Chains A and B, each alone.
Chain A
Amino acid sequence: MAIVKLDQLGKTYGKVVAVSDVNMTIGDGEFMVLLGPSGCGKSTTLRMIAGLENITEGELSIDGQRMNAVPAKNRDIAMVFQSYALYPHMSVRDNLGFGLKRRQTDKAVVRKRVDEVAASIGLTEYLDRKPHALSGGQRQRVALGRAIVRDPKVFLFDEPLSNLDAALRVSTRAELVRLHRELKATMIYVTHDQVEAMTMGDRVCIMNNGKVAQIGSPMEVYLNPASTFVASFLGNPPMNLVPATTGEGVVESGSGRIAQNGFQPGRKLVLGLRPEDLCPTDKVEDAVVSGRVTSLESLGAETLVHIDTGGTKPVILRGGRNIPAQLDQTLHLTCDPAMARYFDAETGVAIIPGEQQ
């Protein structure tokens, strides 16, 4: 277990900046998820922590000890790779024990520890098999076991579930959460899947263009996105972002308005509305947005209603399965003002009403 601190961490390849100015402290036993789209720098950040990439700027420390120049093999970190990276010429037993043999010369101890870990993740009967004779899920568990068996200070996961089918991904997700609870180890997990981030992480660090966009608990980042990027990245469908102008005690969306004090009139901003916070209303004067229904997507438990409000993108409402909406119907939607979010029209940064921006 360990505290991992990233202080203005950066990575450049020649003139290309892959990661810059990453600051975060991952607490002892914390499960931190690095989330972001492809190419956002999350894997590079993880690889810098692992020691597989040189750190070109800033400082990395584990338990207060500077790690920049410490080689990967001496950092006492275990990593689970997306491709599992099992050694094809070794049996499952040898794969599990490979890292341990490097540190522990007593064969009996290695054997005992491998047996324990294999039993805890259900691999006992596969110990003598080679990786090619295992299913995808079993290989994944071997990769996991290889990390656990060493009892490292920090666990790193680089999109470990992305090669699994949907059903297996759900069960392995739960397995990982259970494992984290049992081991109480510091874990850093990279994914582009927001469901994994929301369900597994104690905290989520959302990255974009090599920078940290926001760090917070899953609900914190979901409910209070720090920027339009975070707002549009999290949630499926994501937050509706509607261009708006402030008035006297209201924010005008162009097709409706919402009561909101704390803004100077005449300011241009972006109004953020989560699809599940919108609600159809008969009263036009209560509508925050209004428009024509352009499509209805029934997902069984819920229905997504696309509404053309005259903007570039439709506003999406997430309603129940029996929502009274029909194609081409004009729908007025209302929203609790407490759930509306505001962003600067130019910078995209979140604004809190009443605070001087």
Chain B
Amino acid sequence: MAAQTRTRFSPAGLRMAALMLFIALYTAYSAGPFVWVASMSLRTTSEIAANPYALPWPLHFDKFASAWLDSNYDTYFFNSVVIVLSAVALLTVIGGMAAHCFARYTFRFKGLLYFLIFSTIIFPPQVTVIGLFQIMVEYGLYNNRLGLVLVYVSIQLPVTIYILEAFFARIPKDLFEAARMDGYSEWAIFWKISLPVALPAISTTVILNTILLWNEFLYAVVLITEDDKRTLPLGVLRFLGDQLEDVGMIATGLMIAIVPVVLIYVFFSERLIQGMTAGAVK
């Protein structure tokens, strides 16, 4: 009997059980709030008041339609999509080109340039936002979607270059030389060799930038004040103000803002991890 007990609770089994418990707790800790908000988004405020933690039944999908229609969400959503997609596209192209140059070429002041680009990330946004506000007003980019796109590109560019440069540097230089021998210009080599070979890293930066910019609030709230130019995070804030008493509706509004990011992550997480841990190009 004693021997059986020892077998059932072997040290390896105990370690595994402890690990599973830790993973379960961590999952509950990190995913719990999201699941709770998701559940509330499908329940009415009175249902939530009766039992805050109950499962959503019946499912009130109609709340999404009314949140969308009543609160100008279509405009915010459109603004977010346009601004984030433009910024991410610019980041990928400019960041990719810069990373390609840093990884492949030796040129004068390369180290200084690298330092200058990276030195911008040591200042917290709260420090720079006022100065940026002045600049944007001066150049007519205040309350302008293009202005916000440019700001987003500049704040995310250093990290984008950093991730891509690390990957580009691992691409064997023989590949580029072979393409040169095949008759291609440096420009063509960037588009036909660098970018496709670095697709895992490109995907990583696209996903990271999309998620970060989709949720960006500080620059948007300072640089955009007109309602028809607001992005989703600002829309959510307005929605919170409008629906102060209606917790269930607030949850629905939040879900509309979160769902695209969650979907992107769910569908592309494998590629994201692949890009972050990718080995040498064979």
Docked Cα-Cα span, A139 to B196, in Å, equals 20
Residue among B180, B181, B197 making CB contact with A88, cutoff 8 Å: B197
A87 at interface (Cβ–Cβ under 8 A)?
yes
- Assuming the contacts A81-B177, A88-B197, asked whether A102 and B282 have C-beta atoms less than 8 A apart, the reply is no
Contact at A102–B197, with CB atoms within 8 Å?
A: no
Interface size on A, residues (CB 8 A): 27
Check if A132 sits within 8 Å of B177, measured CB to CB.
Answer: no
> How many contacts A-B (CB < 8 Å)?
62
A52 touches B197 (CB 8 A): no
A85 pairs with B174, CB closer than 8 A: yes
Query: How many angstroms between the C-alpha atoms of A99 and B184 in the bound complex?
Result: 8
Closest residue to A76 on the B side, CB-wise? B183
Known: A72-B181, A88-B281, A103-B183. A81 touches B174 (CB 8 A): yes
- Cβ contact within 8 Å between A89 and B197: yes
> Does chain A have a CB within 8 A of B32?
no
B interface residue count range (under 10 / 10 to 19 / 20 to 34 / 35 or more):
10 to 19
A90 to chain B, nearest CB (A): 8
- List chain A residues, Cβ under 8 A from B175: 85, 87-88
Q: How far is the CB of B185 from chain A (nearest CB, A)?
A: 7
Interface residues of A in 129-178 (CB under 8 A from B): 131-132, 146, 150
Given contacts A52-B177, A132-B282, whether A87 and B197 have CB atoms under 8 Å apart is yes
Within 8 A of A (CB), among B170-207: 172, 174-175, 177-185, 193, 196-197, 199
State how many angstroms separate the Cβ of A240 from the closest Cβ of chain B: 40
B179 shortest CB reach to chain A, Å: 8
Complex interface: chain A residues within 8 A of B179 (CB): 87, 98
- A79, CB-defined interface residue at 8 Å: yes
Q: Which residues of A have CB within 8 Å of B172? A: 83, 85
Most buried by B among A50, A51, A102, A131: A102
Are A81's CB and B178's CB within 8 A? yes
Measured between beta carbons, the chain A residues less than 8 angstroms from B281 are 88
Hey, which chain B residues are within 8 Å of A132, CB to CB? 282
CB within 8 A of B199: which of A81, A85, A89? A89
CB distance from B198 to the nearest CB of A (A): 10
Listed from nearest, the 6 A-B pairs whose CB atoms lie closest are A99-B182, A85-B174, A85-B178, A102-B183, A73-B183, A89-B196
